Amino acid sequence: MKTLSNKIFLIIFTLTIIISACNRNAVNNKLTKLKDTTTMNMVKHTDEEWKKLLTPAQYYITRERGTERPFSGKYTKTFDDGTYYCVCCGYELFDGESKFESSCGWPSFCDIINSDHIKIVDDYSFNMYRKEVRCARCDAHLGHVFEDGPKPTGIRFCINSEALKFVPKK
């Protein structure tokens, strides 16, 4: 009996690794237009300075790579015309026109304003593979990107409300 359960575990574990590798390749292919912008003029502060500039929730999400509870963010149901900026450094990230209802619990965008304004980093936390979205100027954790968005991009930038500042169009 123990041998059978070990074999089942091995099969499930192997399938998980294969599926993770397939997902990683598919996301990489769709995000080839996004660049690693490590040479740009970065905004840097010490942890103590960030703590003074941000609320505790903003600090936890953007500096400690946290997340807000699903459906709790202030921008989850906001669909007004305007622009979303990085809460840490004010970098322009998403246009309100690219925001869509994904029912995932976080603000979702199908496109970015400028590919130089974000960077994508491999994230292996919680024993899974994802693509983390960070601000290219201040390295703030914004959320994750997935390949299940609407056409024409097929991309879903799943972003924490606490990482954003929305300015409505006048």
Strands 82-86 and 99-100: unpaired
Q: Catalytic pick from 86, 135, 138, 158? A: 158
Strands 164-168 and 156-159: unpaired
Residue 93's alpha-carbon distances to 12, 100, 124, 133, 134, in angstroms, are 39, 15, 24, 11, 10
* CA–CA gap between residue 145 and residue 135 (Å, rounded): 13
CB count, 10 Å around CB of 109?
27
Structure tokens at 101: 């209802």
Is residue 158 part of the annotated active site? The answer reads yes
Structure tokens at 145: 């990107």
What's the N-to-C CA distance of the chain in angstroms?
A: 68
Cβ atoms of 159 and 86 within 8 Å: the answer is no
Q: Which residues are catalytic?
A: 158
